[in-house]
Amino acid sequence: MLSPHPRDPARWPRLFTLLLGLLLLAPSFPLTQFNPATLANPDSWHTMAGFVAGFFPPSLQSSFLHDVARETITTLASATAGIALAILLGAPLAFATTRALERQALAAERASASMEGVKSLLRGLMVILRGIPEIVWALLFVRAAGLGSLPAVLAIGLAYGGMLGKVYAEILESQPRELAAALHLQGASRWQCLLYGLWPQALPELLSYSVYRWECAIRASAVMGFVGAGGVGQLLDTSLKMLNGGEVSTLLLVFLLLVNLTEGLSLLSRHALERPRGGVYLLGSGIVAVVASVQWLLPGWRDSGFDLSAIPRFIHDFFLPDGSMLAELAHGTLETLAMSALGTVLAFVAAAMLAMPAAGRFGSLLKLASRLLLNLLRGVPDLLWASIAVLAVGLGPAAGVLALALHTAGVLGRLFAETLENADPAAEQALRLAGAGRVQAFSYGPLPAIFSQWVAYTLYRWENNIRIATVLGIVGAGGLGQQLYLALSLFQQHKAASLIIAMLLLSWLVEQLSRAWRQHMA
Amino acid sequence: MKTLKLSLATALLALSALASAEEAVLKVSAIPDEAPTELQRKFAPLGQYLEKELGMKVQFVPVTDYAAVVTALNSDKIDLAWLGGFTFVQASLHGKVVPLVQREEDSKFTSKFIVNAAVGAKSLKDLKGKSFAFGSASSTSGHLMPRYFLQKEGIKPETFFKNVAYSGAHDATVAWVASGKVDAGALNASVWDKLVESGKVDGSKVKLLATTPPFYDYNWTVRGNLEKKLQERISAAFLKLDPKKPDQKAILDLQRASRFIPTKADNYKGIESAAETAGLLK
């Protein structure tokens, strides 16, 4: 006979995990100076309300609209040219380093030590390329060689090149090996194995990932202006600094339009991939887009006075990194970590609350409203949220927490809603039929199953947020980014070098931890 | 023979095209200490005047970043730049530059400390634990000198204030303080006076708290390897601006100058040592 369980049998371990989490989180509040009371403070609401009231009407001055149109095209063109550069960089790196084409994978042979050494070097290079956030790359190019859209293109090219190199290699590794192995046995070269054994099956996935990256590049390119690298971000930076609400709202609208447009285009091209010859059309239109982009950007590059020859001197100035600022570095790193942790936890709570209506649990009207809200939260990039958040909670890391929370809530909310919709309704229905209340049925029906999925998504986003938290300081929201921006403004290159190394280490550490964690989970 | 003639003609044409592309252009820029539109408005008549005086095309290169102006001047990408005292020191430490002229007002420049009226501060000491905005980190009158004089009063901004921020430009600092985005801030006296005169400061929201002692600030600087003759002619053109002539008075007014006077690098030694004391030079 079954003995009745009047209470949750797992309550003690659950309570313990929760308390441990809260205990770990507690130092984040003083570190980020995040005080939920500030949000309720009438003064900051007053500031915010004054600014938002200035949003209406959006500025429609013809000279301003003309600038907006020009810079929007520049934003699109920089992203497209940047992705082209990233592919040119990432594809050879992936070809050189992928384990899918290694002899020991294709046949049971040992690779030579020197080849392995070269591969490790290339992998290290990719870690550095993607470990420095694209906006930091842009800032470095702007400081080294001059303003304009070229730094934005180079920044996207380098950062995304490192990323594409890694992901392309992984995509090749995930393909079935038999064909390539058979070709290898018959004496085919590395190239031939790739071209005939892996390429045909991997192509749709490679293209689809590249299109996804292009979508990300547009969001990145739109905020490059915050460091002087052209595009709509440049206009937005000026308008935000001068607190010109009308211009800000016009730019925000353009921004959302741009993000939605690219999402639509990206979806369209992924559909095209499923059609016969879709890949060819996609490739063709991609090449046309790249050529048009470079054509559009070229005159600006000629006039900008971008000076490639200044880069070696700039790099030279970085040696040696300043070692005397360990305390400052430690503080910046802790602040960055605390911002990301607190921001992600707040986002989790907000996302869970928004996911319920967004999954249609409270009627279709609430579903539509919450979906719209989630889209808005997600569509505005973190850096932009940060520059608005400094108005609400003042300058400093607290604004970073709020910015991360808002943007991440949008991202997680959508994912959470999807898991809710996909959850098997049987358990919940059974509990309801057995007389359980709505809350009870939900808590013991679908929740345990989806909760681990939610936690996995949240951990993944946290990893992402640590990287983003390092750059939010560029708009005054604390962390390592703020120190870096200041050091580079004052030509304190040694200090800047130490800060970049700290960023790289943090990014590398997070990547390793997350990989170990995922292997552990699998 | 015919082909030879044709190719000669083509070569000549190409050469002349090259020559016209090489037509002398004076590239001028300025540190973006105010909104970009304001900078363009201020420069337009001065640019036309210089074109007439020098007999060459003058092109204004708008730049949105202080440090970028220094880099551009040091790498010969621009010929003439309007620099602040601190950016001039940075440029002279990174390469060879020659200061030509400055406004008469620049030899006794000051900065203003302003505060949001709701804070109710009467002196700098009352700002303890409040948030504070400098202009650009590379600004002399918006950052370096206010920081230096605060330090002399025994105030270390990073520990004394709750938060230290950089608005990026002098007019932005006023907008930030007026809106309450920050409690207090420091800016260039000349921009403050201009905003007050044109009624752009709401006296019920922003109060003047203190003024710094005078120091040397802004000048017009050329890159060191610019032709000596041209350097002299640029100086002469600035020094000739006469407040008694109405059209030239308009140019001077836009620059907020009574007239221009010659300057020399030694005038900025004081700024350099202030920057060292404030820890802003390495």
pLDDT tens across A157-180, in order?
999 999 999 999 999 988 888 888
Per-residue confidence (pLDDT) for residue A238, from 0 to 100:
83
Q: Give mean pLDDT, residues B5-11.
A: 52
- How many Cβ pairs closer than 8 A exist between chain A and B? 94
Sign, Cα dihedral of B129, B131, B132, B136: positive
pLDDT tens across A188-198, in order?
888 888 888 88
pLDDT confidence bin for A112, thresholds 50/70/90: confident
- Taking an 8 Å cut-off on Cβ atoms, the answer to whether B71 and A143 are in contact is yes
Instruction: Name residues whose C-beta falls within 8 Å of residue B136's C-beta, 6 or more positions apart in sequence.
Output: A489, B31, B32, B33, B66, B142, B143, B166, B167, B168, B169
- Taking an 8 Å cut-off on Cβ atoms, the answer to whether A476 and B64 are in contact is no
Closest residue by Cα to residue A215 from A160, A162, A295: A160
Task: Show the 3-state SS of chain B.
Answer: CHHHHHHHHHHHHHHHHHHHHCCCEEEEEECCCCCHHHHHHHHHHHHHHHHHHHCCEEEECCCCCHHHHHHHHHCCCCCEEEECHHHHHHHHHHCCEEEEEEEHHHHHECEEEEEEHHHCCCCHHHHCCCEEEECCCCCHHHHHHHHHHHHHCCCCHHHHCCEEEECCCHHHHHHHHHHCCCCEEEEEHHHHHHHHHCCCCCCCCEEEEEECCCECCCEEEEECCCCHHHHHHHHHHHHHCCCCCHHHHHHHHHCCCCCEEECCHHHHHHHHHHHHHCCCCC
- Taking an 8 Å cut-off on Cβ atoms, the answer to whether B282 and A390 are in contact is no
Closest residue by Cα to residue A458 from A486, A398, A416, A507: A416
Identify all chain B residues contacting A483, using CB atoms and an 8 Å cutoff: none
The structure tokens 């009745």 sit at A4
Bond before B144 cis per omega within 30 degrees: no
Identify all chain A residues contacting B67, using CB atoms and an 8 Å cutoff: 143, 488-489, 491
Top-tier CATH class for A30-55+319-521: mainly alpha
CB–CB of B102/B154 below 8 Å?
Answer: no
Q: Highest-confidence range of A40-49, A109-118, A483-492, by mean pLDDT?
A: A483-492
Interface test with A, best of B28, B31, B90, B179 (most A CBs within 10 A): B179
Q: Rounded to 5 degrees, what are φ and ψ at A222?
A: -70, -25
**Measured between alpha carbons, how far is B154 from B133 in angstroms, rounded to an integer?**
18
The structure tokens 């600035």 sit at B238
pLDDT of B1 higher than 60: no
Identify all chain A residues contacting B166, using CB atoms and an 8 Å cutoff: 476, 486
Per-residue confidence (pLDDT) for residue A366, from 0 to 100:
93
Query: Which residue intervals of chain A bear CATH 1.10.3720.10?
Result: 30-55+319-521, 62-309
Residue A26 burial (C-beta neighbours within 10 Å; 0-12, 13-18, 19+): exposed
Closest residue by Cα to residue A94 from A205, A215, A229: A205
- Taking an 8 Å cut-off on Cβ atoms, the answer to whether A242 and B72 are in contact is no
User: What distance lies between CA B179 and its chain's CA centroid?
Assistant: 25
Closest residue by Cα to residue A233 from A258, A210, A211, A266: A258
Per-residue confidence (pLDDT) for residue B21, from 0 to 100:
47
Give the count of alpha carbons within 13 A of B118, CB side only.
Answer: 13
Identify all chain B residues contacting A319, using CB atoms and an 8 Å cutoff: none
SS3 of residue A452 by DSSP: helix
- Taking an 8 Å cut-off on Cβ atoms, the answer to whether B61 and A395 are in contact is no
A40 vs chain B: nearest CA distance in angstroms? 16
Pair of tokens at residue A410: 């949008």
User: What distance lies between CA A33 and its chain's CA centroid?
Assistant: 25
Identify all chain A residues contacting B143, using CB atoms and an 8 Å cutoff: none
Quick check: A245 contacting B, CB < 8 Å?
Answer: no
Residue B165: left if φ>0, alpha if ψ -120 to 50, beta else—which one?
A: beta
Beta strands at B57-60 and B206-211: parallel, antiparallel or unpaired: unpaired
Quick check: B64 contacting A, CB < 8 Å?
Answer: yes
A149 vs chain B: nearest CA distance in angstroms? 13
Pair of tokens at residue B9: 């003609």
CB–CB of A427/A445 below 8 Å?
Answer: yes
CB–CB of B78/A311 below 8 Å?
Answer: no
Determine the residue of chain A that is closest to B63 in CA distance. Answer: A147
pLDDT confidence bin for B266, thresholds 50/70/90: very high
Name the maximum alpha-carbon separation found in chain B: 90
Please tell me which of the candidates A237, A307, A486 has its beta carbon nearest to residue B77. Answer: A307
With a pLDDT cut of 70, the percent of chain A lying above it is: 94
Return the number of other C-beta atoms located less than 10 Å from residue A317's C-beta: 15
* Structural domains in chain B, sorted by start: 23-107+217-269 (3.40.190.10), 110-211 (3.40.190.10)
pLDDT confidence bin for B18, thresholds 50/70/90: very low
A321 vs chain B: nearest CA distance in angstroms? 12
- Taking an 8 Å cut-off on Cβ atoms, the answer to whether A43 and B180 are in contact is yes
- Taking an 8 Å cut-off on Cβ atoms, the answer to whether A390 and B181 are in contact is yes
pLDDT confidence bin for B36, thresholds 50/70/90: confident
pLDDT confidence bin for B15, thresholds 50/70/90: very low
Determine the residue of chain B that is closest to A63 in CA distance. Answer: B37
pLDDT of B20 higher than 60: no
pLDDT of A24 higher than 70: yes
pLDDT tens across B73-129, in order?
988 888 999 999 999 999 999 889 999 999 999 999 999 999 999 999 999 999 999
Identify all chain B residues contacting A390, using CB atoms and an 8 Å cutoff: 165, 181
Average pLDDT value for chain A: 86
Contacting B residues, span 111-150, partner chain A, CB-CB under 8 Å: 118, 131, 133, 136-138
* DSSP assignment string, A190-241: HHHIIIIIIHHHHHHHHHHHHHHHHHHHHHHHHHGGGGT--SHHHHHHHHHH
**Measured between alpha carbons, how far is B186 from B203 in angstroms, rounded to an integer?**
16
Quick check: B87 contacting A, CB < 8 Å?
Answer: no
Question: Edge-to-edge strands of the sheet including B131-134?
Answer: B163-166, B131-134, B184-188, B111-116, B206-211
The angle at the Cα of A384, spanning A331 to A376, to the nearest 5 degrees, equals 125
Name the maximum alpha-carbon separation found in chain A: 85
Please tell me which of the candidates B78, B180, B280 has its beta carbon nearest to residue A47. Answer: B180
Torsion angle of C-alpha atoms A330, A334, A335, A336, degrees rounded to 10: 100
Beta strands at B206-211 and B260-262: parallel, antiparallel or unpaired: unpaired
A84 vs chain B: nearest CA distance in angstroms? 27
Quick check: B67 contacting A, CB < 8 Å?
Answer: yes
Identify all chain B residues contacting A47, using CB atoms and an 8 Å cutoff: 179-181
Least confident stretch, A285-294, B64-73, B84-93: B64-73
Determine the residue of chain B that is closest to A142 in CA distance. Answer: B68
pTM exceeding the 0.80 threshold for the entire prediction: yes
CB–CB of A416/A383 below 8 Å?
Answer: no
pLDDT of A31 higher than 50: yes
Quick check: A312 contacting B, CB < 8 Å?
Answer: no
Q: Which fold has domain A62-309?
A: MetI-like fold (1.10.3720)
Give the count of alpha carbons within 13 A of B72, CB side only.
Answer: 30
- Taking an 8 Å cut-off on Cβ atoms, the answer to whether B175 and A309 are in contact is no
Quick check: B179 contacting A, CB < 8 Å?
Answer: yes
Closest residue by Cα to residue A477 from A416, A401, A364: A401
Instruction: Name residues whose C-beta falls within 8 Å of residue A82's C-beta, 6 or more positions apart in sequence.
Output: A152, A153, A154, A155, A156, A157, A160, A217, A221
Quick check: B54 contacting A, CB < 8 Å?
Answer: no
CB–CB of B26/B54 below 8 Å?
Answer: yes
Residue B223 burial (C-beta neighbours within 10 Å; 0-12, 13-18, 19+): buried
ipTM associated with this complex: 0.77
pLDDT tens across B171-222, in order?
889 988 998 888 999 999 999 999 999 998 999 999 999 999 999 999 999 9
pLDDT confidence bin for A292, thresholds 50/70/90: very high
The structure tokens 């403050």 sit at B192
A248 vs chain B: nearest CA distance in angstroms? 15
- Taking an 8 Å cut-off on Cβ atoms, the answer to whether B65 and A147 are in contact is yes
Quick check: B258 contacting A, CB < 8 Å?
Answer: no
Interface test with B, best of A482, A490, A492, A495 (most B CBs within 10 A): A490
SS3 of residue A435 by DSSP: coil
Per-residue confidence (pLDDT) for residue B90, from 0 to 100:
93
- Taking an 8 Å cut-off on Cβ atoms, the answer to whether A394 and B65 are in contact is no
Q: Give mean pLDDT, residues A394-408.
A: 89
B60 vs chain A: nearest CA distance in angstroms? 12
CB–CB of A117/A195 below 8 Å?
Answer: no
**Measured between alpha carbons, how far is A166 from A515 in angstroms, rounded to an integer?**
13
pLDDT confidence bin for A304, thresholds 50/70/90: low
Crossing angle (nearest 10°) for helices A199-223 and A149-174: 150
- Taking an 8 Å cut-off on Cβ atoms, the answer to whether A238 and B36 are in contact is yes
Q: Give mean pLDDT, residues A213-239.
A: 88
Pair of tokens at residue A384: 């932009």
Q: Give mean pLDDT, residues A212-225.
A: 90
pLDDT confidence bin for A204, thresholds 50/70/90: confident
- Taking an 8 Å cut-off on Cβ atoms, the answer to whether A142 and B68 are in contact is yes
Quick check: A47 contacting B, CB < 8 Å?
Answer: yes
- Taking an 8 Å cut-off on Cβ atoms, the answer to whether A390 and B176 are in contact is no
The angle at the Cα of A35, spanning A29 to A36, to the nearest 5 degrees, equals 120
Identify all chain B residues contacting A146, using CB atoms and an 8 Å cutoff: 68, 71-72, 75, 77
**Measured between alpha carbons, how far is A402 from B173 in angstroms, rounded to an integer?**
23
Quick check: A395 contacting B, CB < 8 Å?
Answer: yes
Identify all chain A residues contacting B94, using CB atoms and an 8 Å cutoff: 491
- Taking an 8 Å cut-off on Cβ atoms, the answer to whether A489 and B66 are in contact is yes
CB–CB of B278/B147 below 8 Å?
Answer: yes
* DSSP assignment string, A302-334: HHTT--TTHHHHHHHHTPSPP-TTHHHHHHHHH
**Measured between alpha carbons, how far is A428 from A101 in angstroms, rounded to an integer?**
48
Determine the residue of chain B that is closest to A474 in CA distance. Answer: B166
pLDDT of A328 higher than 70: yes
Identify all chain A residues contacting B59, using CB atoms and an 8 Å cutoff: none
Residue B55 burial (C-beta neighbours within 10 Å; 0-12, 13-18, 19+): exposed
**Measured between alpha carbons, how far is A473 from B181 in angstroms, rounded to an integer?**
16
Least confident stretch, A204-213, A320-329, A394-403: A320-329
